[in-house]
Amino acid sequence: MTKSALQIARAAYAPKMPESLKGSVKIVEGRKTESIADQADIAKLFPNTYGMPLLTFEAGGAAKSFPAVNVGVILSGGQAPGGHNVISGLFDGLKRLNPNSKLYGFLGGPGGLVDNKYMELTSDIIDEYRNTGGFDIIGSGRTKLEETAQFDQGLENCKKLDIKAIVIIGGDDSNTNACVLAEYYAQKNAGVQVIGCPKTIDGDLKNEMIETSFGFDTACKVYSELIGNIQRDCNSSKKYWHFIKLMGRSASHIALECALQTQPCVTIISEEVEKKGMTLDGLVAEVAATIIARAKEGKFFGTVLIPEGVVEFIPAIKKLIAELNDLLAHHEAEVNALANNDEKRALVAKLLSADSAATFASLPVAFANQLMLDRDPHGNVQVSLIETEKLLIDMVKAYIKKNEPALGAKFQGQPHFFGYEGRCAAPSNFDADYCYSLGYTASVLIGEGKTGYMASVRNLTAPTAQWIAGGVPVTMMMNMEKRHGHMKPVIQKALVDLNGAPFKKLVECRNEWATQPSFVYPGPIQYFGPTEVCDQPTKTLALEQKK
Amino acid sequence: MTKSALQIARAAYAPKMPESLKGSVKIVEGRKTESIADQADIAKLFPNTYGMPLLTFEAGGAAKSFPAVNVGVILSGGQAPGGHNVISGLFDGLKRLNPNSKLYGFLGGPGGLVDNKYMELTSDIIDEYRNTGGFDIIGSGRTKLEETAQFDQGLENCKKLDIKAIVIIGGDDSNTNACVLAEYYAQKNAGVQVIGCPKTIDGDLKNEMIETSFGFDTACKVYSELIGNIQRDCNSSKKYWHFIKLMGRSASHIALECALQTQPCVTIISEEVEKKGMTLDGLVAEVAATIIARAKEGKFFGTVLIPEGVVEFIPAIKKLIAELNDLLAHHEAEVNALANNDEKRALVAKLLSADSAATFASLPVAFANQLMLDRDPHGNVQVSLIETEKLLIDMVKAYIKKNEPALGAKFQGQPHFFGYEGRCAAPSNFDADYCYSLGYTASVLIGEGKTGYMASVRNLTAPTAQWIAGGVPVTMMMNMEKRHGHMKPVIQKALVDLNGAPFKKLVECRNEWATQPSFVYPGPIQYFGPTEVCDQPTKTLALEQKK
């Protein structure tokens, strides 16, 4: 396999670690934990893994000997930069505890555990993947571990390999399932521990003890590089408005972080759109207002950041989509029997509630057709297929033509969507260090016999040596939520906090960014330069932890 | 203005220069030149600037004194990384010859010269832009300097500022016009020299004396970073085919260079498509063949690189577009009077030649509609608006469903288009050095009283100190071509040479890249690391200059 010069040079990078992980670790038990809500329900569902104490690691533990142990690792869900470093940290940590320990990787995500598809991860293999992006070392997958039949099958497969612990690297859903699995194995006294690691570029697995999920830092830096480059371009040619959609279906953390890094003219934050109860037309009017204001000063260019999932946060559209999902499930044949989209829309409009019919009628035809037709195998609208960036360009153009005819012809939009460009980038120094530390922390939790814990590394805006490693009971992050009609224990998703420092910073600055020359050009991630260039955490973290 | 940490750190970079530019320059006259074709015609059109000798700079010239001189600089056409360094090299070079020299920037492209919009570029301003991307220091524009009225107006404006020389930084067209301007001012004995600099990310301003145009290196490295990241992603999730369109309307140099850097499964080279006389269906079948072959080995993922202008290189479509442009110019009202696209297509088909009508009928309806409707102010099809990446995904999907029904459902395409993401990136070390050297070279040509020359810096795969700076008469690169019905002298555009080493390398490797794990992940441009990471020229240059 041909390697790029950077990949070769980067392989030699030794991730920095918290001081506490460098020698024998002293485990300090903190307070007993409670779930963030619905304590009684969660305690009942997790009799073995509820209420466990927080664990903090300190340097200077007594030297101990650890038995050799076989461990399995799983990459779950969408890729995030740094997954390979979690695995290499885990590998190195296990080998330090006992060089005879073995690490197995289950292939293609959680399905690999159920189907017993695996490979042993030896040092030769690990060394090929240190500090690289991607999840290709063992692949990932979206199979959900939810059924006891899967758990039993997984246990059987663990027994074949003498695996005593599983590390699941995933987002909120995967870590919820990891905890359910931990509880199940504990109840059965199966002798298999389960440890989680917080992954997702979306940044929505975040709470008091998990300051950020890994990959968010790198992905946002890649997107910000591109946004900055586009801003330089539009500031040079002065003729386009670039509408840039950013991956992240639920939360707008990515859009917010990229805005803080690049200072665009307009940033849409889904959580704010929902809070304000905005309509699509209202959102369009708001974006257009900035464009018109700039045009009146002779500036026919700018940038708009759009979170991928924004249309689902517009209350009227959220309601419409829910009704459509329901309605089409019952009337699919009737609708499909009609000859063309005009007739289909007319029938659908008749079947909707009055409110939703009005919303439906207000939408551009192409968008209305898309909501009616493109459905996933479960009958849901595939929101990720909606080209929100183009929808907004078209609607803004129409709005300006109608309200400011003299300016209409001068508005030219360019759509972009960034997602796959950043999910598998090679990790920044921050993510390389953070991920390696998370993996190493998982090895310590395994050595200590823990289960139902998530690896936690905190104090992330301090120098790496001062980062605080430890373990957090997963149940601590849970509450009960309705899923597919049933109440389930789940890790609460962290949306953008409209009272938090990062959003407040945006609010404080956005008028200036909209009207004054404010673009920032972050440039590409650097691995070898001065520390202020190479080792900065996200603006989100810096603002959240500002003393 | 807020600056990113990288921008601040990067401002301190001192571009490397050829040895010959570091002290007093010795000017060595080489052979008298001839145009590459149509010598008699070109000689007649350029009596004052034809047949001038090549100039090579050597170190160790006698110290001379130069009078102070006022110089104007123009950025012309699309942005390319490094434009600011050309200007800073020019500025530093002029100041070294005489600290009382002044540099004026004409604003917003060649139009600034005609309209007398300008600013003086002082060291404070220059220092703000060293090693940054973009053309925003003075802006760019696409006004073409072609009319004598413009030349006369420009001359008048130069006289007001006592400007004795103009440097035009642009692509093949802009340099052609620069030479026409040089000739005009020489004929009039106007006392204004004109010097060109070779800019374009497309890489198609290239010949014996111009090894590469500036910006190509950086832009290709940005696109290759993104392609590599996407390849990591598709190698991890193993479920998508990414169809990646790359900017560059005419030549496929960008697609070829990115292919050499990233080793994708399929690379389309427009020049090969034309040479082979391929049809759109034939191209689709060829792309689908690789996808089917991989699918049969269980690999439902991969990457396809698509040059932006490929549809215009398909001979049948090129012919169809030419006929459509002509036909719609004469029958626009008739066509527009019809009620719907079906009727319009039927009428258009009747008016086309039999061959083109057959081609037209073979196209997907949406694409046919687009060819019929989206026209620029000159009545031409706006090929850049055609979403070739989506067109190919749809056609490949249809092809696979028809020919390999069992595999059809498993093919999922993801479209991308990269252009604006790279045109204004901060220049790589290579482009920072190359551009600075070009600007410095231009200052020497001005000092020596030259006009009608392009700054040339060669031997670019050697260490910077050994680069060879000098001047090339622009007429040397010219031939006569038909433009808007008239024969004109123009710089010959350099398309991909199907007998050249870079394309041969692609041909040699592409079967392996199509079927074997071959992806390369170049990662982001690095500015501070080891030289093998930070200072490499493009693969294209390396292959072309391989001894």
The per-residue pLDDT for range B335-356, each reduced to its tens digit, is 888 878 889 999 999 999 999 9
Judge: A229–B222 Cβ closer than 8 Å, yes or no: yes
Distance from CA of B238 to the nearest CA of A (A): 8
B61 reaches A (C-beta below 8 A): no
Q: Are B389 and B415 in contact (CB under 8 A)?
A: yes
Among residues A207, A185, A150, which one has the least CA distance to residue A449? Answer: A185
Helix axes A365-373, A315-337, angle to 10 degrees: 70
Look at residue A383 in the predicted model and tell me its pLDDT.
73
The yes-or-no verdict on residue A446 having pLDDT over 90 is yes
Mean pLDDT of A115-144: 96
Tokens representing A530?
């001065």
Pick from A4, A238, A424: which is nearest to B236 by CB? A424
Q: Are B301 and B239 in contact (CB under 8 A)?
A: yes
Look at residue A338 in the predicted model and tell me its pLDDT.
87
The yes-or-no verdict on residue A218 having pLDDT over 90 is yes
What is the C-alpha to C-alpha distance for residues B1 and A415, in angstroms, rounded to an integer?
26
What dihedral angle (degrees, nearest 10) is formed by the CA atoms of B327, B330, B336, B338? Answer: -70
B201 among the known binding-site residues? yes
Judge: B228–A4 Cβ closer than 8 Å, yes or no: yes
Residue B376 annotated as catalytic:
no
Average predicted confidence (pLDDT) for chain A: 95
B236 reaches A (C-beta below 8 A): yes
B537 reaches A (C-beta below 8 A): no
The yes-or-no verdict on residue A484 having pLDDT over 80 is no
DSSP H/E element including B337: helix B315-337
Look at residue A381 in the predicted model and tell me its pLDDT.
76
What is the C-alpha to C-alpha distance for residues B1 and A540, in angstroms, rounded to an integer?
20
B485 pLDDT tier (thresholds 50, 70, 90): confident
| CB neighbour list of residue B511: distance below 8 Å, 6 or more residues apart | none
A interface mutation test: which of B424, B429, B519 has the most A CBs within 10 A? B424
A interface mutation test: which of B7, B74, B129, B233 has the most A CBs within 10 A? B233
Q: Which domains does chain A have, with CATH numbers?
A: 35-215+427-483 (3.40.50.450), 217-279+290-308+387-420+494-547 (3.40.50.460), 310-385 (1.10.10.480)
B400 among the known binding-site residues? no
Q: Are B284 and B396 in contact (CB under 8 A)?
A: yes
Chain B CB contacts of A524 below 8 Å: 6, 222, 225, 425, 524-526
Mean pLDDT of B159-169: 98
Judge: B521–A132 Cβ closer than 8 Å, yes or no: yes
B78 reaches A (C-beta below 8 A): yes
Judge: A133–B229 Cβ closer than 8 Å, yes or no: yes
Distance from CA of A39 to the nearest CA of B (A): 37
Structure-model confidence comparison of residues A322 and A435, the more confident one: A435
DSSP conformation letters of A198-244? EB-TT--S--SS----BTHHHHHHHHHHHHHHHHHHHHHH---EEEE
The yes-or-no verdict on residue B176 having pLDDT over 80 is yes
Look at residue B408 in the predicted model and tell me its pLDDT.
79
Judge: A229–B529 Cβ closer than 8 Å, yes or no: no
B376 pLDDT tier (thresholds 50, 70, 90): confident
ipTM score for this prediction? 0.96
On the 0-12 / 13-18 / 19+ scale of CB atoms within 10 A, A313 is buried
Chain A CB contacts of B237 below 8 Å: 78-79, 135, 139-140
The yes-or-no verdict on residue A222 having pLDDT over 80 is yes
A6 reaches B (C-beta below 8 A): yes
Which of the residues B92, B173, B202, B431 is marked catalytic? B202
Q: Are B184 and B157 in contact (CB under 8 A)?
A: no
Judge: B233–A414 Cβ closer than 8 Å, yes or no: no
Look at residue B374 in the predicted model and tell me its pLDDT.
66
Pick from A133, A236, A414: which is nearest to B136 by CB? A236
A239 reaches B (C-beta below 8 A): no
Distance from CA of B529 to the nearest CA of A (A): 5
Pick from B2, B424, B520: which is nearest to A229 by CB? B424
Interface of A with B in 494-533 (CB under 8 A): 517-518, 520-530, 532-533
- Counted across chains A and B, CB pairs separated by less than 8 A come out at 189
Side chain identity at residue A391, one-letter code? L
The angle formed by the CA atoms of residues A308, A309 and A310, to the nearest 5 degrees, is 100
Q: What is the pairing mode between strands A241-246 and A413-418?
A: parallel
Judge: A526–B6 Cβ closer than 8 Å, yes or no: yes
How many C-beta atoms lie closer than 10 Å to residue A524's C-beta?
25
A interface mutation test: which of B303, B420, B431, B516 has the most A CBs within 10 A? B420
For residue A231, give the chain B residue with the closest CA: B424
Tokens representing B355?
């061959």
B408 among the known binding-site residues? no
Judge: A521–B414 Cβ closer than 8 Å, yes or no: no
Among residues B222, B263, B265, B224, which one has the least CA distance to residue B243? Answer: B265
Mean pLDDT of A464-484: 95
Judge: A424–B527 Cβ closer than 8 Å, yes or no: no
Interface of A with B in 114-153 (CB under 8 A): 132-136, 139-140
Q: What is the pairing mode between strands B70-75 and B102-106?
A: parallel
Chain B CB contacts of A78 below 8 Å: 237
The angle formed by the CA atoms of residues B438, B443 and B449, to the nearest 5 degrees, is 125
Mean pLDDT of B378-402: 88
Judge: B420–A233 Cβ closer than 8 Å, yes or no: yes
Whole-model pTM?
Answer: 0.97
Interface of B with A in 252-271 (CB under 8 A): 261, 263
B389 among the known binding-site residues? no
Structure-model confidence comparison of residues A122 and A379, the more confident one: A122
B160 among the known binding-site residues? no
Pick from B79, B133, B233: which is nearest to A420 by CB? B233
Tokens representing B101?
């020299």
What is the C-alpha to C-alpha distance for residues A271 and A493, in angstroms, rounded to an integer?
13
What is the C-alpha to C-alpha distance for residues B250 and B271, in angstroms, rounded to an integer?
9
Judge: A1–B529 Cβ closer than 8 Å, yes or no: no
Tokens representing B105?
């920037």
Look at residue A485 in the predicted model and tell me its pLDDT.
81
The yes-or-no verdict on residue B358 having pLDDT over 90 is yes
Distance from CA of B85 to the nearest CA of A (A): 15
Flag the least confident range among A269-283, A349-363, B198-212, B319-333.
B319-333
Average predicted confidence (pLDDT) for chain B: 95
A202 among the known binding-site residues? yes
Look at residue A374 in the predicted model and tell me its pLDDT.
67
B484 pLDDT tier (thresholds 50, 70, 90): confident
Among residues B264, B251, B272, which one has the least CA distance to residue B224? Answer: B264
Mean pLDDT of A256-278: 98
Look at residue A294 in the predicted model and tell me its pLDDT.
97
Distance from CA of B404 to the nearest CA of A (A): 22
Mean pLDDT of A220-229: 98
Q: What is the pairing mode between strands A266-267 and A302-307?
A: parallel
Mean pLDDT of B519-545: 97
Judge: A235–B134 Cβ closer than 8 Å, yes or no: yes
Q: What percent of chain A clears pLDDT 70, i.e. is strictly above it?
A: 99
Mean pLDDT of A150-169: 98
Residue with tokens 């007429």: B475
How many C-beta atoms lie closer than 10 Å to residue B349's C-beta?
14
DSSP A61: P
Sign of the alpha-carbon dihedral angle for A498, A499, A503, A504: positive
- For the sheet containing A70-75, what is the strand order? A25-32, A53-59, A468-473, A453-458, A193-198, A163-170, A70-75, A102-106, A118-120
Look at residue A382 in the predicted model and tell me its pLDDT.
77
